[in-house]
Structure 1
């Protein structure tokens, strides 16, 4: 188990690099689905979101407590690997079941890694005496590293476009010559932006223009990244229950100090769950583990219990949904209706490079910004930035000469998304310290739900509808989140005042 700050930093770095490898494979392959697999690619992506959303209700809280976060992280990349391997032979009866398995593993992996990082924060803060800063810094560093996967994956796709560009150009020139010879002419007249229609979008590279050997090499590289993820997770240190582990560290420090007041310190550190007694009495530890086992058997209901018992959980749920809606809007709706429509498919890769480069920057800056402000102030700044750029999207119609504005919008959305993506889980860690596995499951349930809704709305309506939905989730979620944070702070103040009054009596 990690017992020093350096050991905690090592585990954070390993976990971040492992998820980075997995997401580089996952996000790149997700973007390529519609190009590689025309018939089942879109169905596969939809299956992932639906399965991840439904399984978030049941599996994460149960397995995280049952087999520990570290073991969950070791097993989950196997589901991603099966999904990647299914792309070697992408038909309905191979790809769709693989996406279902990948969706289940995705719903478990993300809460598991967040719970694991939360425990690392507890361990390090017990030595650093600065819990809030450690919490924000660790989540900021983690998402900064992970978000670079979008940048690396986009660079990989850009190289892929370059490899196939010559062949595509030849085919386009041949088609143009044939059209001129037969005197066929047509005008594609469609509006970009808020009222963009799917029929006017430029078609992306099809699988017929990609060499089969290149496709197999790509999938093999992605598969090796999935395997490397599981191997990296294996080298993580196992963490015990957070309270048990901290109690062990305190007992160890007391034994090393060897002062006359050792017994008084042990008595003062005793807690209602008898963490210290478990270290001293094996029988009591065994009885406690049995009780804990029966609790774990019912942990699949932990998410529902959290929603029913703590009203702050549903106050903060809409902010989690906004993380998913912003992610889906910036990566799909914005690229299709604003970038590809006005500039062509090649600029989608360039704008995605901008998103991939600045999103990690937003995560990193947010972690250090929380040294000087609280979560409410940080979310106020991010909400203002996203609201301002959304107003620009509403009043501006993209044109061929508006390349700079496209990149400015993408950069602002990327920074705001980096802040929300990294610090909403950090805030959950502070709001729900008693049951973090259920809280993180609830957060990713909202994220998957928001992303799925935006993808469905985009396919059925004009881009103005998902844009309004994303803006509604942002503003209403921000107000509810502030309300929940203030409720929690008031409860903590009341509890601390009661404790101090009891001590005085």
Structure 2
């Protein structure tokens, strides 16, 4: 049977979606189910803090030498260990589990994107896709499809969470926190939230163990799928500053080449200008999965409703994952950047002005839909932008994206429960404005450069 790029595209995206489904479901609940002593956000801080170091020193090393397939599998295994640690929550289990789980955040996203990029850059494809790839370009639509499918994990994860936790909930228990909303939403401050535990901990602890068992089973299935059915994709030629391919023969040379290559890429002008928008995306994700779920959902509706609200987030996330690729293809990336930036600012202003009451609680679902929309757009367009700017060093480009996203999420989770939410939202507004400004400078500079080269070529031909 002829093996096609489409087949391996489906294997990698379905397996990754299944694994990340379990991870995202657990991520959404961490800040609520482990609210005591801020254990949940401490766990997330460790996961992303260690992931930051791995993204800087290990991810490019593995991508360039181990390949996208096995780097992806290693990261998925890390997510499984983190889920297992949550069966017996405590500092002795959660912290080691978070350290191992950091492999997932560092490896999965970069390896998945690199696999898709290499798949369609290097592999002969079906006649159906030949025209789109004949000039060596990756169609925007393929990354839109990749992220569109992958982002449905938020839907499945939270529907599973809602079904299990809400199904075990006693009908005599109200969904709402005794009408006390004074410390919820943008007024949330961990230090002043005294009525904490009742709204955040599932009333039936067995339901939590069942949920964790389902998540662990999904993760182990995805690891097996990729081990046995995913073929390694050809690698692009990652290069160090002197232009030679990375092919060291010793461990020290491997590490040295990896660090030099990563440092060279991260300090390039275009990557520096793109860094603020990448940082904003990670900062927004940490907000959505910790502060938003705790302050806007658990605090007002109860932890059992987190799954339902975040399923709404996932629906819009997945739709816009598909839509962003098409929008960038039809309208151009600059228009998508401008519109999404203004959309996000409007969302955050509305959250600052929101006053939680029983009559207005449905606004929580609207805020989740808007955050999901932003998530779906930003990840897709950032990946498309990186491919357009750094076609000759994709391993380093995606490792760099992973590094800044993980750094931003680490900062966000450290701030969660330690900085009042109003300040956090203001920082989000500032960061998205700075990020779009940086992209604008990069795009203007590159367009001027292309225009200059075009004029020079015309002048040479005229002579």
The two structures have a TM-score, normalised by structure 2, of: 0.85
Aligned partner of 1:349 in structure 2 is 307
Q: What's the secondary structure of 1:475's corresponding residue? A: helix
Conserved 8 A contact 2:188-2:420 = yes
Aligned partner of 2:261 in structure 1 is 302
Distance apart, 1:26 and its partner CA: 0.9
Q: Distance in 1 between matches of 2:308 and 2:295?
A: 15
Q: Distance in 2 between matches of 1:478 and 1:97?
A: 37
**Among candidates 448, 451, 476, match of residue 434 of structure 2:** 476
Q: Distance in 2 between matches of 1:187 and 1:76?
A: 43
Superposition map of 1:331-350 within 5 A: 331-350=289-308
**Among candidates 198, 218, 233, match of residue 203 of structure 1:** 198
Q: Structure 1 503/69 Cα, relative in aligned 2: closer, same or farther at 3 Å?
A: farther
**Among candidates 11, 22, 26, match of residue 23 of structure 2:** 26
Distance apart, 1:15 and its partner CA: 1.3
Distance apart, 1:187 and its partner CA: 9.1
Q: Distance in 2 between matches of 1:317 and 1:230?
A: 31
Aligned partner of 2:58 in structure 1 is 59
Superposition map of 1:51-450 within 5 A: 51-123=50-122, 127-129=131-133, 134-166=138-170, 169=172, 188=180, 190-198=182-190, 199=193, 200-201=195-196, 203-204=198-199, 206=201, 209-211=204-206, 214-234=207-227, 235-242=229-236, 298-308=257-267, 310-450=268-408
Tell me the alpha carbon deviations over residues 59-92 of structure 1, each in whole angstroms, 9 at most, x when there is no partner.
1111100111122123322222222233344443
Conserved 8 A contact 2:164-2:210 = no
Q: What's the secondary structure of 1:409's corresponding residue? A: helix
Conserved 8 A contact 1:107-1:444 = yes
Tell me the alpha carbon deviations over residues 156-205 of structure 1, each in whole angstroms, 9 at most, x when there is no partner.
11112223212x847x9xxxxxxxxxxxxx99572443323331556345
Q: Structure 1 499/72 Cα, relative in aligned 2: closer, same or farther at 3 Å?
A: farther
Q: Distance in 1 between matches of 2:452 and 2:255?
A: 31
1:459 aligns with 2:417: yes
Q: Distance in 1 between matches of 2:16 and 2:215?
A: 13
Distance apart, 1:491 and its partner CA: 3.1
Q: Structure 1 131/488 Cα, relative in aligned 2: closer, same or farther at 3 Å?
A: farther
| Number of aligned residue pairs | 445
Q: Distance in 2 between matches of 1:495 and 1:68?
A: 35
Distance apart, 1:482 and its partner CA: 1.5
Tell me the alpha carbon deviations over residues 369-423 of structure 1, each in whole angstroms, 9 at most, x when there is no partner.
2221211111111112112222222333232211343333322221122100222
Conserved 8 A contact 1:383-1:474 = yes
Conserved 8 A contact 2:41-2:416 = no
Distance apart, 1:493 and its partner CA: 4.2
> Which of structures 1 and 2 has the bigger CA Rg?
1
Conserved 8 A contact 2:324-2:381 = yes
Q: What's the secondary structure of 1:112's corresponding residue? A: helix
Q: Structure 1 290/342 Cα, relative in aligned 2: closer, same or farther at 3 Å?
A: closer
Q: What's the secondary structure of 1:459's corresponding residue? A: coil
Conserved 8 A contact 2:64-2:395 = yes
Q: Distance in 1 between matches of 2:234 and 2:448?
A: 30
Distance apart, 1:361 and its partner CA: 0.6
Q: Structure 1 231/470 Cα, relative in aligned 2: closer, same or farther at 3 Å?
A: same
Distance apart, 1:333 and its partner CA: 2.1
Q: Structure 1 28/164 Cα, relative in aligned 2: closer, same or farther at 3 Å?
A: same
Q: Distance in 2 between matches of 1:19 and 1:70?
A: 11
Conserved 8 A contact 1:322-1:474 = yes
The two structures have a TM-score, normalised by structure 1, of: 0.78
Where does the alignment leave 5 or more consecutive residues of structure 1 unmatched?
A: 173-185, 245-272, 274-286
Conserved 8 A contact 2:199-2:299 = no
Where does the alignment leave 5 or more consecutive residues of structure 2 unmatched?
A: none
Q: Structure 1 65/500 Cα, relative in aligned 2: closer, same or farther at 3 Å?
A: farther
Q: Structure 1 414/492 Cα, relative in aligned 2: closer, same or farther at 3 Å?
A: same
Q: What's the secondary structure of 2:152's corresponding residue? A: helix
Q: Structure 1 329/205 Cα, relative in aligned 2: closer, same or farther at 3 Å?
A: closer
